[in-house]
Amino acid sequence: MEIQTLNELVNIAKEQETKRIAVVAAADRHVLEALKKAIKQKIVDATLVGDEMAINQIAQEIDFKLELVKIINVKDAVKASETAVSLIREGKADILMKGMVSTSVLLKAVLDKEKGLRKGGTLSHVSFFESPNYHKLLCITDAAMNVSPDLDDKIAIINNAVEAYHKLGIELPKVAILGAVEVVNPKMEATVHAAVITQMNRRNQIEGCIIDGPLALDNIISKTTAEHKGIVSEVAGDADIIVTPDINVGNVLYKSLNFLGDAISAAVIMGAWVPIVLTSRSDSEKSKLMSIALAAAMK
């Protein structure tokens, strides 16, 4: 199975039971605009946690009818985060979404050891791109969460991204470990990590995917370029997931695809009990809508 466009995620979400999304500090115009469309397409039902008066004001401005939406009036951002997280824990919502609240406040509630949604040790940002220059959706991880991941962190980041693919029905995604070069250089830690992770995959220590690396970006994207360099790889030219060495590379690649490459993106945080829709302020309304669809499409 291969997913080529973000609209396919919308179709997958529509085919499944409508998911329930809890939005933290929901008085955010762009978030409510995306939610309006997601609800109209029956992708999600929503509970909006936040300042009820402000939510109603924005909804009026964008002609968003709130009759089928539940609103929990909580003005304080910390309490709104805790309230939305409790909805997940109580089985009253399937997806968490960030509104007009700082990421640190939301994640503090998510990572609370007693009342949060901590599943493992590592949360990571998983972003899917529809690019006119690639033949299917391409996932970049991690562009927003882990600053300088060590080997164990990178393995967790891979497992989170692979889990996202499995939840979308793709059983064996191809994972490329990004490096500046294709050979292992002891002075370049990213290449050493890539080689170790690739070998672990071949020995079934990391399962559910096919991993190769280090691979430079041109070889990850272009089979022809890889062949010219004599690279024999199942992943080269057909990668589903690109694992970046650190947040600097991940963030630059993420924004380069969006602002220079005419790509459209959808992103979630994986590693918690449920997918977390946590978009950037610079993300378009369509990107926010597709992020909701991505989370809703996961089984």
pLDDT one-digit tens code per residue, 151-166:
999 999 999 999 999 9
Per-residue pLDDT at 2: 85
Q: Residue 48: what pLDDT? A: 98
Report the pLDDT value the prediction gives residue 205, as an integer from 0 to 100.
Answer: 97
- Cα distance between residue 22 and residue 274, in whole Å: 11
pLDDT at 236: 95
**Token representation of residue 108:** 């503090």
Identify which of 28, 72, 59, 21 has the alpha carbon closest to the alpha carbon of residue 43.
21
Q: What is the pLDDT of residues 77-113, one digit of tens each?
A: 999 999 999 999 999 999 999 999 999 999 999 999 9
Handedness of CA 211, 217, 218, 221 (dihedral sign): positive
121: pLDDT confidence band, cut at 50, 70 and 90? Answer: confident
Task: Give 214-235 pLDDT, tens digit per residue.
Answer: 999 999 999 999 999 999 899 9
Model confidence band, residue 129 (pLDDT cutoffs 50, 70, 90): very high
- In this predicted model, what pLDDT tens digit does every residue of 229-273 receive, in sequence order? 999 899 999 999 999 999 999 999 999 999 999 999 999 999 999
Band of residue 280 on the pLDDT scale cut at 50, 70, 90? confident
Token representation of residue 231:
């690279």
Report CA-CA distances (Å) from 86 to 23, 112, 220, 237, 282: 12, 11, 41, 43, 28
pTM over 0.75: yes
140 closest CA partner among 178, 194, 168 = 178
Look up residue 98 and give its two tokens.
Answer: 């960030």
Write down all domains in the chain, each with its CATH number in brackets.
1-119+272-299 (3.40.50.10950), 123-270 (3.40.718.10)
Mean pLDDT of 51-70: 94
Tens-place pLDDT, residues 179-225: 999 999 999 999 999 999 999 999 999 999 999 999 999 999 999 99
pLDDT the model gives residue 118: 86
**Residue located via tokens 């490329």:** 176
Run of H or E including 276? strand 276-277
Give percent of the chain with pLDDT exceeding 70: 99
What secondary structure, in 3-state letters, does 92-142 show? CCCEEEECCCCHHHHHHHHCCCCCCCECCCCCEEEEEEECCCCCCCEEEEC
- pLDDT-derived band at 66 (thresholds 50, 70, 90) equals very high
Q: Where are the alpha helices (DSSP H) in 121-169?
A: 151-167
Please tell me what DSSP assigns to residue 118: B
